[in-house]
């Protein structure tokens, strides 16, 4: 039995296979319509979510399966003090696979250690968000045609943004990846990522504070939201929240084929005028998120297409 707690739980070859399946699902959805008949996905969300929960549920429904779950800790016995370990033991009796989102780093790992069904980490605090990373990899491969030899700008809240941490972990395994890390000093990438991931893998990167300086170099610009829920001080959040706003004027500085990505939700960091720019990829990214989560559920349930 396998879980996905980090993007590194799958080899590069396995990720390629998952993405191949996702691309096939996009072309031939009817082939996959019943492969998870009578299988149940449980979504255990202790933190708010729109995309991750609903795309996982859509993925399972598209595969012919069913879904159960809760969308907030207040709507479950967590509100009465039940632990994640006990909850997943219970859910293992009800469902075939579970996805968990939790504000605490490591909660998905605790769930996996106590589970008798596969567990998907749907985001654990500021740590990892592997299904978003699979979505991001598929989006890049589908829209840029490759995962190698790319200059990737990561902009915004690089300290608390778990999507950025997961994406860096995944992309360093591909050759010729360079990063431009764009953030204010207060929201720099954590030192454990810089030292244990970037430096340890001899990855070329630079840290800058001005988005405009980075724009002309980038093949991909990955914007992120300043994560209000992870700040200790509201004043600090208010000071930093609008530090980067991607707008039409800044897009004029970019390459003609630069891809703009964002895990969403956005707040103010991408102006709506950018939505109509052909380089805006963030809503296509949402659609790829369904295909890759379908492929992931099939893989974890060891379901094959006849």
110-129: contacts with ligand CP (CB under 6 A): 123
Let me know if 80 is a catalytic residue. Answer: yes
Let me know if 51 is a catalytic residue. Answer: yes
Catalytic residue among 3, 40, 102, 129: 129
Cα angle vertex 234, ends 102, 242, to 5°? 95
Adjacent-strand bridge partners of 84 = none
Catalytic residue among 40, 101, 162, 165: 101
Query: Is the CB of 49 or the CB of 128 nearer to ligand CP?
Result: 49
Residue 156 neighbours by CB under 8 Å, 6+ apart:
182, 183, 187, 223, 224, 225, 226, 243, 244, 269
Let me know if 52 is a catalytic residue. Answer: yes
Let me know if 127 is a catalytic residue. Answer: no
Tokens of 295: 């492929």
259-288: contacts with ligand CP (CB under 6 A): 263-265
Min dist CB 263 to ligand CP, Å, is 4
Tokens of 162: 């778990």
Let me know if 151 is a catalytic residue. Answer: no
Min dist CB 94 to ligand CP, Å, is 22
Min dist CB 163 to ligand CP, Å, is 6
Query: Is the CB of 216 or the CB of 265 nearer to ligand CP?
Result: 265
Contact 275, 285 (CB under 8 A): no
Pairing of strands 177-182, 150-155: parallel
Cα(131)–Cα(118) distance, integer angstroms: 14
**What DSSP state is assigned to residue 256?**
T
Active-site amino acid positions = 51-52, 80, 101, 129
Enumerate binding residues for ligand CP (CB under 6 A): 49-52, 123, 132, 263-265
């Amino acid at each position: 039995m396998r879980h996905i707690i980090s993007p590194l739980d799958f080899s590069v070859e396995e990720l390629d296979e998952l993405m191949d399946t996702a691309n096939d699902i996009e072309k031939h959805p009817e082939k996959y319509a019943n492969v998870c008949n009578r299988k149940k996905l449980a979504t255990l969300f202790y933190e708010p979510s729109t995309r991750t929960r609903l795309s996982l549920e859509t993925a399972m429904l598209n595969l012919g399966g069913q879904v159960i779950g809760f969308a907030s800790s207040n709507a479950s016995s967590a509100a009465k003090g039940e632990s994640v370990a006990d909850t997943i033991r219970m859910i293992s009796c009800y469902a075939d696979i579970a996805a968990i989102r939790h504000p605490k780093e490591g909660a998905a790992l605790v769930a996996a250690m106590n589970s008798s069904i596969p567990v998907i980490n749907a985001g654990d605090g500021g740590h990892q968000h592997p299904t978003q990373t699979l979505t991001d990899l598929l989006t890049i491969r589908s829209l840029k045609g490759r995962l190698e030899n790319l200059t990737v700008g990561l902009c915004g809240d690089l300290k608390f943004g778990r999507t950025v941490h997961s994406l860096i972990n995944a992309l360093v395994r591909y050759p010729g990846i360079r990063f431009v890390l764009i953030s204010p000093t207060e929201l720099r990438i954590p030192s454990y990522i810089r030292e244990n991931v970037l430096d340890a893998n001899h990855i070329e990167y630079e840290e800058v504070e001005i988005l405009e300086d980075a724009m002309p170099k980038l093949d991909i610009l990955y914007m992120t939201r300043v994560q209000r829920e992870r700040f200790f001080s509201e004043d600090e959040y208010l000071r930093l929240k609008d530090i980067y706003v991607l707008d039409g004027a800044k897009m004029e500085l970019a390459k003609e084929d630069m891809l703009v990505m964002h895990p969403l939700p956005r707040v103010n960091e991408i102006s709506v005028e950018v939505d109509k720019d052909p380089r805006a990829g963030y809503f296509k990214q949402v659609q790829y998120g369904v295909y890759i989560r379908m492929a992931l559920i099939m893989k974890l349930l060891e379901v094959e297409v006849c």
